[in-house]
Structure 1
């Protein structure tokens, strides 16, 4: 087959052919001069598919598909390369856009490193097995937060909360242990329980303009 092709073409030569077979980076192409096995050139990042019209270069070491010239408009386009692939702009920006969506998929690690990052979406969902967040400052401005968890643990040097109204509904028990505990109410302080115990190792003081017991 190659000898027949050599008689028809003066090497090196280029011609247009149709992809009739695909096996990895090995392709089988058919042209007016016959069928040959060809390899996808390293510069041909668009992965050829069956039925594509391609530009083929023939030379002493074989044949290579240089580019995909035409394909069915409805067929998907796939950019692929053997080994690592880097897309870089010496100056300016790099944009990736898709009318129907953009997917980033890898079984290994995905890294985003930037001086500043921004995420803007009408709706976002994150499913993470284990999440670790390390940073100097966190600011969140939202209308509503709902958290459903089996266990929540917060460790902090200082905790300050400023609320207009606060409601806590605890089904079983609540325990507070502190070296110094102060509760202050401007209008009223109401404690209601079936049993109330107040224990102190030292002084217990009740002070008020009126005190009613019983």
Structure 2
């Protein structure tokens, strides 16, 4: 034990070392003083990689890697922490940018809470299994909307549509059930069918300046 203590006291407090092995947060490093097992310091968020030049600190409880000093420029950089990781700015803004893209991955829940949220993109693709939306108002201004669905159900207390032209192509049947139906055509109202049926329980009235049958 005295030999180990004397050896530790003989080591420099800090020195540069090269990473030769990785086992979780335990690193195998080689320096001018020899080879050591060192743990990543809590402040060393950048994951060391094989061959990286790191700053090694020796103390009475062992050795710790404080920081990554140099690494291959082509090697990716990864920030990690054992527990929860929070990035916060007491004042000002936080910006995350990437020249080639940004990926956000989690097997758990992703939460976005903001006073105002803005999304600006030339193209967006979304693949969602189940979407639940709760809001007070939706305003959309688009040039074209195309919807392909097996089933569409709309429930509303009031529906208003203002269209320049409307075309409906129904392959099989259409059913309308209402207490009161009014159709107003300024120029002409045309009904064409192989069979036309009109049933009224109380009254059927046709009023026109001219009526042609047959």
TM range (shorter): over 0.9
- Whole-Å Cα distance in 1 between the matches of residues 6 and 206 of structure 2? 112
2:176 maps to which residue?
Answer: 176
4+ runs of 1 displaced by more than 3 Å?
1-5
Distance in 1 between residues matched to 2:122 and 2:94, nearest whole Å: 23
Q: Where does the alignment leave 5 or more consecutive residues of structure 1 unmatched?
A: none
Q: CA deviation at 1:9?
A: 1.5
Q: Deviations over 1:157-189 (max 9, x none)?
A: 000000000000000000000000000000000
> In the TM superposition, what is the alpha-carbon distance from 1:54 to its structure 2 partner?
0.3
Quick one: distance in 1 between partners of 2:9 and 2:192? 104
How many residue pairs get aligned? The number is 212
Which residues in structure 2 correspond to 1:134-149 (within 5 Å)?
A: 134-149=134-149
Change in Cα spacing, 1:209 to 1:28, as seen in structure 2 (3 Å) is same
Query: Contact 2:37–2:63 at 8 Å: present in 1 too?
Result: yes
The answer to whether the 8 Å contact 1:2/1:36 transfers is no
Structure 1 Cα separation of the partners of residues 176 and 9 of structure 2: 93
Distance 2:52 2:68 in 1: 7
- Computed over aligned residues only, the root mean square deviation of the Cα atoms, in angstroms, reads 1.3
Name structure 2 gaps, 5 residues minimum: none
1:150 aligns to 2:150 (yes or no): yes
CA deviation after TM superposition for structure 1 residue 7, in Å: 5.8
Cα distance, 1:6 vs. partner?
A: 2.2
The alignment's TM-score, normalised by the length of structure 1, stands at 0.97
Q: Which residue of 1 aligns with 2:8?
A: 6
- SS of 1:21's equivalent in the other structure is strand
Cα offset, 1:4, TM superposition:
7.7
Q: State the partner residue of 2:58.
A: 58
